[in-house]
Structure 1
Amino acid sequence: MKQWQRGLRYLYLRFVRLQATPEQISRGFALGIFWGMFPLPGLQMAIAVVSAAVVRGSKLAAAAGTWFSNPLTTLPLTAFNFHVGQSVLGREWEDLPTENLRSLDSFLALGTDFITGYLMGCLIVGLAFAVVSYFVGIPVVDAIQRRNAARRLKRRKARFYKPLKYRDRSQLH
């Protein structure tokens, strides 16, 4: 358990200490969020990193953004994306056939109506979440970077500018 905690702490610190502008970090994170909405297990992170490199966003932030869709959030996000897609295409809401989402063959067997509705929902929800995460991310990243810079400056000052201790002159002779 401690290895997981150390690993997560390391990744968190790497993310917080990214040497990029808030716009670049937010751009990368937004791309990760966008690609994380699509049903591309194993490819989400690679596509997000490549697209972040193309638009000069942070590649590490893009990889981290894809973690938004994880085993705990996959089913709720899939259902939400499916229903958004159904609504946008003007179709009646159907129940999400969760038993058919276990393999690629059973997913493809659901037909083009299901798949187009689902992918339309992925596109719309992904765009919405990406835009929100980009504009919310800029001030958040800026604040984190300013806080970290202030802490580093304070530590540097404490190390190099130690307070002078005045000694009693009578001890010098």
Structure 2
Amino acid sequence: MKNSLTRVQPWFRTRFRQWLRQNPKSLRLLRRFRCFGTDTESMSRGLAVGLFFGLTPTVGFQTPLVLACCLMLRANFLIAFASTWISNPLTVAPLYLAFNWLGDSIIGPITLSESTTSSYPWLNLFLEEGLQMTIGSLVLAIPAAFLGYLLAKYWGPRISSSFPTAEKP
């Protein structure tokens, strides 16, 4: 596994640098908004953004939403993108079930009149399942993003300072 990663990493790095050379405006924009910043604040914000969108039912739209938020909040995009993988193909079904259960326990069942459900069946589906899932995910995503920010902000520098550094020749 390690050998395959060491072969792919230079290829990816070369392709990414080539893309940035071909798109200097994108590079300036990413540098201006510190999307690759390695300071503690930028990385903490990136973790918070990634955890928030990783714990909301936005699969399929996560990357554009994360990039937009990273530009607005001057957060580290790479950390945010990596932390959205908390909702990966193996965990998305249990997460969505938990979101739905939590939302159902908070707002309870929603019932519409018979005329409304016959006229707008999609509205009934959205209000019963989608609203409960959204409420449940926000109840988990907001505290997780906040805790992730605090952990990265205050304990991140302490952890990284305990790692040995390479000596310069």
Structure 1 length normalisation: TM-score? 0.65
Aligned to 1:124: 139
Q: 1:86 matched to which residue of 2?
A: 104
1:147 deviates by 3.9
**Structure of higher CA gyration radius:** 1
Task: Measure how far apart 1:7 and its partner are.
Answer: 5.2
2:149 partner amino acid: Y
Find the residue that maps to 2:74 and give its secondary structure. Answer: coil
Distance 1:83 1:147 in 2: 41
1:4, distance to aligned residue in structure 2 (A): 4.9
Q: Distance in 2 between matches of 1:5 and 1:127?
A: 36
Deviation, 1:146, is 2.3
Partner residue, 2:130: 115
Deviation for aligned residue 1:41: 2.3
- Alignment partner, residue 141 of structure 1: 156
- Aligned-partner Cα distance in 1 for 2:93–2:70: 26
Contact preservation (8 Å) 2:57, 2:133: no
Alpha-carbon separation, structure 2, partners of 1:139 and 1:5: 32
TM-score by length of 2: 0.66
Alpha-carbon distance in structure 1 between the residues aligned to 2:102 and 2:138: 10
CA distance in 1, matches of 2:131, 2:37: 40
- Equivalent position amino acid for 2:87 in 1: S
Tell me the C-alpha RMSD between the 2 structures: 3.0
Over the matched positions of the two proteins, sequence identity in percent amounts to 27
Partners of 2:143 and 2:8 lie apart in 1 by 31
Counterpart CA distance in 1 for 2:95 and 2:84 is 13
Residue in structure 1 matched with residue 42 of structure 2 by the alignment: 24
Contact 1:108–1:115 (8 Å) recurs in 2? no
Q: Which residue of 2 aligns with 1:151?
A: 165
Residue 165 of structure 2 aligns to which amino acid in structure 1?
A: R
In structure 1, stretches of 5+ residues that fail to align are 12-17, 93-106, 160-173
- Residue in 2 that maps onto 1:104: none
Give the distance between the partners of 2:96 and 2:158, measured in 1 at CA: 33
In structure 2, C-alpha distance between the alignment counterparts of 1:108 and 1:42, rounded to whole Å: 22
How many residue pairs are counted as aligned between the two chains?
Answer: 133
Where does the alignment leave 5 or more consecutive residues of structure 2 unmatched? 13-35, 111-121
Q: Distance in 2 between matches of 1:113 and 1:77?
A: 17
**One-letter identity of the residue aligned with 1:114:** E
- Structure 2 counterpart of 1:77, from 89, 95, 104: 95
Aligned residue identity for 2:150: F
Larger % of helix: which? 2
Inter-CA distance 84–6: structure 2 relative to 1 (3 Å threshold): farther
Counterpart for residue 41 of structure 1: 59
